[in-house]
Amino acid sequence: MNDQRVAVVGGGSRGIGKAIAVALGARGYAVAVGFHGSDFAAGQVVEEITASGGRAIAVQADVADEDAVAQMFDVAESIGGIDVVVNSAGRLSLSPIADLDLDELDALHRTNIRGTFVMAREAARRVRAGGAIVNLSTSVVGLQFPGYGAYAASKGAVEAMTLVLARELRGRDITVNAVAPGPTATELFLDGKDEATIERLAKQPPLERLGTPQDIAEVVAFLASPAGHWINGQVVRANGGII
């Protein structure tokens, strides 16, 4: 098999996913930058990685579509052996449970639960020994902020499947973990929030700031590296110390 190390990053064109793709590219992985909507944004990520001497390709795929995901992995395997799979594709919807439109609930769960499951299933079939699978959860699963009921429920499912898969891959020398960011300054997080709300959330961690996409990317890159290979079947709450 080709010795080129390859990382597949679902939702790699924006926010935390973009930072993860760039971080893995800087560490020598050829990166398949998965995207659903904007090929322009994905192309910018590819340009950023290649401008620094890395190798990357943009691949369009709806993470909830098993055929599209299989094709994305086919493209990745044409470059080299798949060593890292990160699913950072996600959808956020804020509403009190009593008021949530159930169509929005279905859309959110299609991306966050089905999408993560489809990506994890393909990863379990293709990642080679010594590799890593990392899913993205949220610290809201533990913090239980009002308005996040549907989102937290979907990410609770992500954590459950992550821990089960870690055990199912016994003997394969593949780690499976989840990273659960706290409030992080991305377009997805900042959208619809006023300055007072943002400032209040930034003061919650003892470090008294919002996380950055790079903060989360560094955690993911560590878990994907040989140095992080003894960490397995865990949920890492990367949130600056919010309790």
Positions annotated as catalytic residues are 151
20/166 Cα distance (integer angstroms)? 21
- The half-sphere exposure of 187 on its side-chain side, counting CA atoms within 13 A, is 7
Q: Are the beta carbons of 117 and 158 closer than 8 angstroms?
A: no
- The half-sphere exposure of 190 on its side-chain side, counting CA atoms within 13 A, is 13
Query: Six-digit token pair at 121?
Result: 């299933």
91/68 Cα distance (integer angstroms)? 18
Residue 13 carries which side chain, given as an amino acid letter? S
* Per-residue CA distances from 78 to 17, 73, 164, 231, 233 (Å): 22, 9, 29, 29, 29
Residue 152 carries which side chain, given as an amino acid letter? A
Query: Six-digit token pair at 38?
Result: 């904007």
Query: Six-digit token pair at 163?
Result: 């821990």
**What is the crossing angle of helices 115-126 and 66-77, to 10°?**
40
Query: Six-digit token pair at 44?
Result: 């910018």
9/18 Cα distance (integer angstroms)? 9
